[in-house]
Amino acid sequence: MKHRIKDWVILSFFSGIIGTIAMDVFNFPFWKSKKTEFMYGSLAGSILMLGSRTKRKENFLIGQIYHMLTGGLLGTLNFLMLKFSGKDHYLIKGFSFGAIIWGTLNNVGQSLGLFHVKMHRTASFYVSLIANAIYGAVTSYAIVNLGDPTMFEETTMLEKANLSSRPTPKFMEETSSYRETETPHYTQ
């Protein structure tokens, strides 16, 4: 690919939307065969409105847009994870990231009562977990393959934290010289 995306916000948001589409494509056959209870547009829409209202097409569309925006925003977290941990093994990192996101959203969302629809079938939980893991892996794949390679150049931990260019505070210099030259002696 000759032209790569150099803006990390655009790259991560666009990659998150690609991952969200992959997640929805994976879930659709399970929903169509009635193995899962709902599509993710309905789940996201249930945050904004009562669960019974998400069955209407216009409300499902609002939920689907909300779902896509959430996926795009979470893509930025995925990018930051890859930026600081490196892009090696990016599929495994993305897969794990998606599973962690599933656990966080599912547990926090259900316990706080954010969702007005609830999963009742065990298959729905498994499909949802796998779909979120696929989301993370596809998002990581898109970030690495669509992004400019210079975005992932190797840097030291100090450079990542932007600490190497800052001067050392005076009190730290005095403390470090004290520790190097004098050894405390204790007498009874």
Q: Is residue 49 part of a domain?
A: yes
Contact 128, 106 (CB under 8 A): yes
Q: Is residue 72 part of a domain?
A: yes
Q: Is residue 187 part of a domain?
A: no
**Maximum distance among all Cα pairs of the chain, rounded to whole angstroms:** 83
Residues spanned by the domain of 157: 8-181
Number of structural domains (the chain) is 1
pLDDT for res 60: 82
pLDDT for res 25: 96
* Integer angstrom CA distances of residue 98 from 16, 49, 169: 11, 25, 41
Q: Is residue 81 part of a domain?
A: yes
Residue 93 main-chain phi, psi, to 5 deg: -65, -40
pLDDT for res 185: 63
Q: Is residue 1 part of a domain?
A: no
Residue 5 main-chain phi, psi, to 5 deg: -75, 130
For the chain of 188 residues, list the mean pLDDT of each consecutive stretch of 10.
84 96 94 86 77 73 91 95 90 94 83 74 88 96 92 63 58 54 61
User: Tokens representing 42?
Assistant: 């309905």
User: Tokens representing 68?
Assistant: 């896509």
pLDDT for res 179: 53
